[in-house]
Amino acid sequence: MTRVFWVRHGPTHAKSMVGWSDLPADLGDTARLERLKAHLPQDAVVVSSDLLRASATADAIAGQRLRLPHDKDLREIHFGEWELQAFDKIPDQEHLRAFWDTPGDIRPPGGESWHEVTARVNAAIHRVLSHHPDRDIIAVAHFGAILTQVQQALRVTAYEAFGHRIDNLSVTELHRRENNWQALSINHMP
């Protein structure tokens, strides 16, 4: 059995759609980071998105664990022209609603679709699993990246996956047995 502990990065405090913009995380709550670090398995390998908010969070909780190189494929959804815009400021509200209400092949202008995000994140976690078989993995990533894996584990639609909260510094624990994923916990706050 393989266990993957998905950790959402620390908060950015942005009030807009943040995808590939490299905003820093607020890691000032050291007590919370220490609780998170203690909650995670000590013998796990740690991998993160290459975006600063995820990589800095991973560095803060890694401790003596093996820290793998950053992986660009663990990034958040690429929002294209919607990047850093508030939801209510997106000019084409119908397109925005379709992106969130019927996730799949719809993409923001210049961005990527849900299916593309899912394929990218699946490839990243598959690489880590193949290089570190039978090891626990701590993957520090983003809301969308984590939800792609929740969708698989729960065997639900993308729309249903979007119904789950993934708070900053939360842990979503997924287990794999013989290529079947199960969700042990979603959005756990240590």
Predicted pLDDT at 6: 98
- Cβ contacts of residue 147 below 8 Å, gap of 6+? 158, 161, 162, 164, 166
Residue 85: pLDDT above 90?
Answer: yes
- pLDDT class for 134, splitting at 50, 70, 90? confident
Domain ranges of the chain: 2-188
pLDDT tens track for 15-59: 999 999 999 999 999 999 999 999 999 999 999 999 999 999 999
For domain 2-188, the question of CATH label 2.60.40.10 is answered with no
pLDDT tens track for 143-156: 999 999 999 999 99
Residue 141: pLDDT above 90?
Answer: yes
Burial class (CB within 10 angstroms; exposed 0-12, middle 13-18, buried 19+) of 74: buried
Predicted pLDDT at 178: 84
Predicted pLDDT at 167: 98
Residue 124: pLDDT above 90?
Answer: yes
- pLDDT class for 1, splitting at 50, 70, 90? confident
Question: What is the chain's mean pLDDT, rounded?
Answer: 96
In this prediction, what percent of the chain has a pLDDT beyond 70? 100
Q: What pairing do the DSSP bridges indicate for beta strands 137-141 and 45-48? A: parallel
pLDDT tens track for 176-186: 988 899 999 99
Distance CA 6, CA 137 (A): 8
Query: Which phi and psi (to 5°) does residue 140 adopt?
Result: -95, 115
